Amino acid sequence: MTEEKHFREIKTFGRRDGRPLSKRQKHLVDALLPEISLPTDTPICRDDLFGAVEEIWLEIGFGGGEHLVRNARRHSDVGMIGAEPFIDGVAKALTGIDENNLRNVRLHADDVRQVLPNMEKAMIDRAFILFPDPWPKRRQQKRRLIQQAFLDELAHVLRPGAMVRFATDVASYADEALWNFNRHPEFDWQAGRADDWRHDPPDHEPTRYQLKKLGDCKPVWFEFIRR
């Protein structure tokens, strides 16, 4: 098995389904999702997705879509791409997109690693990885998203100078993610003092998971710049 194939087969998320969807959610999954889904078998180009936008932001693992939808509402001149394999979260995001009549959002209802290779080089201006599945048990940690192969693909789609924001409330994941980012040649950590990673960024939109406080430490915030 090649290293690349092994990387692709590692699941970095748990179960994909949860409680049954409401009638409205089922309708949105059937009708709206196909309209705003990213293509999976053709190149994904910046201009083809949104036309004339100032920037394109990518949220990897958007959970219930709170952060994604609020940012799309606040920044109508930004194209928002969200990837999330959990169907309940996708349905919640679709509800917010529909209720707010958002036209600047595209979704991928599965693993982001399926579409990263198809994306145009340097098409993303900001990326968010907020509270990804922490896989806290030692035997599970190989499933964590932040690995060198993933960072290679992420760096490819980020423009030079693009910001990546990573957050977790699991101490071991914070240590591992920081180590992986710092040893990657394409990312520079932006922290100059402890307060830079201890407090929510001023422009952050809280997520439902974050408010549950399920981790073993207070949220840690790391921001990196693509070289």
Question: What's the pLDDT score for residue 135?
Answer: 85
pTM exceeds 0.85 for this model: yes
Three-class secondary structure assignment of 148-187: HHHHHHHHHHEEEEEEEEEEECCHHHHHHHHHHHHCCCCE
Longest dimension (CA), the chain: 49
* pLDDT score, position 209: 83
Helix (H) / strand (E) element for 95: namely helix 87-99
3-state secondary structure of 45: coil
The DSSP output letter for 37 is B
Whose CA is closest to 180, among 132, 124, 110? 132
Q: What is the pLDDT of residue 6?
A: 44
Q: Is the Cβ–Cβ distance between 138 and 170 less than 8 Å?
A: no
Report the chain (227 residues): mean pLDDT per 10 consecutive residues: 46 55 95 96 92 94 96 97 96 98 97 96 98 85 94 98 97 96 98 93 88 91 98
| Residue positions annotated with a catalytic role | 133
pLDDT for the residue 12: 46
> Burial of 115 by CB count in 10 Å (0-12 exposed, 13-18 middle, 19+ buried)?
buried
CA distances from 172 to 41, 177, 213, 220 (A): 36, 9, 16, 11
DSSP H or E stretch at residue 105 = strand 105-108
Domain covering 20-38+52-226: architecture: 3-Layer(aba) Sandwich (3.40)
Residue 212: its pLDDT value, please? 86
With beta carbons less than 8 A apart as the criterion, state whether 136 and 172 touch.
yes
